[in-house]
Structure 1
Amino acid sequence: MLARPVIAVAALLVALAAIAAAIVVYDHGQQDKIGKGVTIGGVDVGGLKRDAAETKLRQQILAPLNREITVDHGSRRWRLTAREAKVATNLDATVADAVARSRQGNLLKRTWRGVTGEQLDARLQPEVTFSDAAVIRLLDRVRKSVNRPAMNATIKFAVSGPTTTPSHEGLALDATALHQKIKAALGSPTATRRFSASTHHVAPAVSTDKLIAQNATTLVVNREAFKLTVFKNLKEVKSYSVAIGAVGLDTPAGLYHIQNKAVDPAWTEPNSDWVPVADRGKVIPGGTPENPLKSRWLGIFNGAGIHGVDPSEYGTIGHAASHGCVRMRIADVEDLYPRVPVGAPIFIA
């Protein structure tokens, strides 16, 4: 009677030993296999052996990462190869990590997962590296070809009047946005790798309209023709006959600006050879017969200016007869005065 229980126990032990051996053998066979529910970079590698997983990842992750980046603008195109960008990824290490996670837990837990197909739900991301300096070099190539500097308007004064060279808008690459897009693409096997370079216009610091506004009123004195001309918005609006400085007391040539204005200006007799020593520095009140400036004054430079002249000296108009100033008939200087603001350029040729 005792033999039967012994036999039963022995049989159970043998069965358990067989099961244990089977579990060991099974687990040994799974040691290089990735568990169900494991993805690497979004690619399902569950149930694959290490070599098979690496092959699949090279096809679905590494190959796309090795495609070149292309940037275009109009008909022009620039390329950045994976080699130039030094694109690299740690797929082998990530696969090893996936295998290690699949081997977590004791022998029975691992076997139970394998037999039942229990999901690990492990989402691994391989590390992708690249050279940002290479991306910047690509952007520099695009920028050099695409960018166009803004051109400021310029003005030139001549005896015939002021003329302008018009302004032009510039063009600039939207480099920051493109930089971010390329970096994101280099690190993602699913991202687009072709981009159109966007640009924005760059306004000139001095536009044509701004330059015209700055020179809304300009004066030109043609000494040879004894003529003063007023230009409004670069167009001639009025001319006057004038007298200019006599030989040796020449009206100064060049570009100046109206420094000051006055109605019935006082006159301080200058420290000049043509003024008696006793009278130098003497102030002659405005509006008096002795005051030679007559009615209006527009200062130009170093004591020289535009002013009226006594009717008795109207005969000097059209001649080099003054002490350096621009003389005008009283009616003419009074007509000119409100047309010209302080700061207006005056070109004396």
Structure 2
Amino acid sequence: MPTRLVIAVTAFLAALVAAAAAVVIYDHGQEDKIGKGVTIGGVDVSGMKRDAAEAKLRREILDPLNQTVTVDHGNQRWSLSAREAKVATNLDATVEDALERSREGNIVKRTWRGVTGEQLDAKIQPEVTYSDAAIVRMLDRVRKSVNRPSMNATIKFTVGGPQTTPSHEGLAVDATALHRKIKAALVSPQAERRFSATTAHVKPKVSTDDIVNQNATTLVVNREAFKLTVFKNLKAVKSYSVAIGAVGLDTPAGLYHIQNKAVDPAWTKPYSDWVPKDQQGKVVPGGTAENPLKARWLGIFAGAGIHGVDPSEYGSIGHAASHGCVRMRIDDVEDLYPRVPVGAPIFIA
């Protein structure tokens, strides 16, 4: 072989060996260095060695994660420390993963990436663990302090008329949204670590308006005063003098409802001692002289009701004189009749 060729081949082989040696030396020098384009939890650790990457991650991830989470509502504050929440992360293992990702491919590919500055585009998320039970305990503290139950409106019937207790809206923490915010703060160093608890108003099942509407018309019979009073929207609008049941045939006290209504009602003679046995159960047509139920009828219960009385018996008004019904003058019962719907409550005191 000519001398020049030998020299050329030898020089080429020497250069090849030198290049290979340079590649090996370069690659070896990158073993403990994270490749370009690698992020951990959003933190760029490109080109960093293990110790430097861990130090940066402690500053930008671990330190924020160790900060206390604070929730407020008005002047109240609640705190959840990282220790109570048992926050932990595997930064060491994550850095090791970043180094392994940086060593992907063969020696030539790794060297080419290093020389050309090719990006790995590797986004690694550290594993952050926490105690969900600690979040729930904090939520319980917030709810206990903030939540307020709604109150239904109520009505009480008295001799003076219906008395109401107004309804009140309640308040409830949006626990689902708050749980989500606390969790995000525990696992993400970029998340806000102080925020307000959002609340929603809780409407009562029975509002004051509901009570008023349900009792738009109410009757109160004051037996002692021999008065029947009509209430509209819980306010007295008209009173009438009445007669009530005689002793032994008392008009019973209690809360009832108007069961039925009729104009010139028929009368079925009751099965009572004061009715001759041969007359008991006999029906007397309405509007006749023999029918004691004059003009109008508003049934209350078990054959008892409100009705007009013959003018010849107007002297009984203001006395305990009936067989249990509430007697009224004909003009009065005719005036009352259209004011009262079926189902209206009537309180007899």
TM-score by length of 2: 0.94
Task: Give the corresponding residue for 2:30.
Answer: 30
Structure 1 residue 330: Cα displacement: 1.1
Alpha-carbon deviations, 1:111-142, whole Å to 9, x = none? Answer: 23323433222222223233333323222221
- 2:50 and 2:109 mapped to 1: Cα distance? 21
Q: What amino acid does structure 2 have at the position aligned with 1:306?
A: I
1:138 equivalent in alignment to 2:138: yes
Structure 1 residue 6: Cα displacement: 4.5
- 1:240 and 1:109 mapped to 2: Cα distance? 106
CA RMSD of aligned residues (A): 1.9
- 2:168 and 2:107 mapped to 1: Cα distance? 77
- 1:335 and 1:205 mapped to 2: Cα distance? 36
- 1:3 and 1:233 mapped to 2: Cα distance? 124
- 2:112 and 2:209 mapped to 1: Cα distance? 82
- 1:287 and 1:87 mapped to 2: Cα distance? 88
Spell out structure 1 runs of 4+ moving beyond 6 A: none
Q: What amino acid does structure 2 have at the position aligned with 1:25?
A: I
- 1:117 and 1:312 mapped to 2: Cα distance? 118
Q: How does 1:8-157 map to 2 (within 5 A)?
A: 9-10=9-10, 12-157=12-157
1:327 equivalent in alignment to 2:323: no
1:289 equivalent in alignment to 2:285: no
- 2:236 and 2:246 mapped to 1: Cα distance? 27
Task: Give the corresponding residue for 2:269.
Answer: 269
1:212 equivalent in alignment to 2:212: yes
1:162 equivalent in alignment to 2:162: yes
- 2:233 and 2:113 mapped to 1: Cα distance? 88
Deviation larger for 259-268 or 3-12: 3-12
Structure 1 residue 219: Cα displacement: 1.0
Q: How does 1:169-248 map to 2 (within 5 A)?
A: 169-248=169-248
Alpha-carbon deviations, 1:60-91, whole Å to 9, x = none? Answer: 11111121211100000111222222323232
Structure 1 residue 40: Cα displacement: 1.2
Deviation larger for 19-28 or 54-63: 19-28
Structure 2: segments with no counterpart, 5+ residues = none
Task: Give the corresponding residue for 1:348.
Answer: 348
Q: Provide the secondary structure at the position in 2 that maps to 1:21.
A: helix
Q: What amino acid does structure 2 have at the position aligned with 1:46?
A: S
- 2:317 and 2:10 mapped to 1: Cα distance? 142
Q: How does 1:243-258 map to 2 (within 5 A)?
A: 243-258=243-258
Q: What amino acid does structure 2 have at the position aligned with 1:143?
A: R
- 1:53 and 1:278 mapped to 2: Cα distance? 111
Task: Give the corresponding residue for 2:308.
Answer: 308
- 1:121 and 1:159 mapped to 2: Cα distance? 83
Q: What amino acid does structure 2 have at the position aligned with 1:227?
A: K
Q: What amino acid does structure 1 have at the position aligned with 2:34?
A: I
Q: Provide the secondary structure at the position in 2 that maps to 1:295.
A: strand
TM-score by length of 1: 0.94
Alpha-carbon deviations, 1:238-270, whole Å to 9, x = none? Answer: 111111111111101011111111100011111
Structure 1 residue 39: Cα displacement: 1.3
- 2:75 and 2:240 mapped to 1: Cα distance? 57
- 2:152 and 2:189 mapped to 1: Cα distance? 46
Structure 1 residue 5: Cα displacement: 5.1
Q: Provide the secondary structure at the position in 2 that maps to 1:126.
A: coil
Structure 1: segments with no counterpart, 5+ residues = none
Q: Provide the secondary structure at the position in 1 that maps to 2:115.
A: helix
Deviation larger for 131-140 or 55-64: 131-140
- 2:73 and 2:101 mapped to 1: Cα distance? 47
- 2:8 and 2:239 mapped to 1: Cα distance? 134
Q: How many matched pairs?
A: 349
- 2:3 and 2:230 mapped to 1: Cα distance? 136
